[in-house]
Chains A and B, each alone.
Chain A
Amino acid sequence: DVKVTQSSRYLVKRTGEKVFLECVQDMDHENMFWYRQDPGLGLRLIYFSYDVKMKEKGDIPEGYSVSREKKERFSLILESASTNQTSMYLCASSEMTGPDTQYFGPGTRLTVL
C-alpha cells in the first residue's frame, strides 16, 4: 500500500513565524501535491510538483512556497505565518503516467495564533 506521511498531526505557531510542513511518500511517485482543507471550501491546491526541483503553482499559492530536493519528500513553507493560514494541510502523491489516483496523508492541522 502507498504510504504518505506528514511530519506533524497538530501544530501551533505564532504570527510571523516561519513554518515548515514535511511530507514523505514511499511509493516512488513522481507527482506530489499540497492542499489546504477548510470547512465549506473543500480542498484547494496550493502547489504541486511533478519531479525533483520542479514546482508549479496551484490555485492559492500566495503566502506559501515549496521545496522538493528529493523525490520522496515535498515540503510546504509558510515564510511568515498569518492567522488566515490556520487550516488543515493535506499532502498527496500520484504516479506520473496514465490515469492516476492521488494518495493522501493524514493531514496537519495548523493553528496560527
Chain B
Amino acid sequence: AQSVSQHNHHVILSEAASLELGCNYSYGGTVNLFWYVQYPGQHLQLLLKYFSGDPLVKGIKGFEAEFIKSKFSFNLRKPSVQWSDTAEYFCAVAPSGTASKLTFGTGTRLQVTL
C-alpha cells in the first residue's frame, strides 16, 4: 500500500516570501500525484496534479510542483506567497490505473502574515 509524508505541519511566512512544502510518497510503481488546498471555511479543491510527461507542473494561483521520481518527491512551490494563500495543503497519491483511490498526507497548515 502507498503512503504519503508531509514533513511540515505548520508553516508561517510573511507576504512575498517563497514557499516550498515537502511531500514524499512510498510506492513501488507508477503513481499519479496531487496537491489539494482547503481555504478557511471552504471545501477541498484541486491545486495541481501530475499524471505523466513534464515533471514540472503548474497549477492555479501561481503554484507549481516538481515530481522527482528518484526521490519519490512531489514538492509544492510558490515564488511569492500572498495573505490569501493562508490555507491547509494536502499532498495525495494514487497508483496509476486504479480507480482513483487516493492516499492523503496529514496536511500542512500555511499561515501567511502581512
Contacts and interface: CB of A to CB of B under 8 A. Distances in A.
Nearest to B97: A99
A30 B56 CA distance: 30
Interface residues on chain B, size class? 20 to 34
Nearest to A91: B43
**Interface secondary structure of B, over-half rule:** loop
A11 interface: no
A45 B9 CA distance: 20
B75 interface: no
Contacts of A35: 104
B104 A96 contact: no
Nearest to B9: A40
Interface of A: 4, 31, 35, 40-45, 48, 50, 58, 90, 92, 94, 96, 99-107
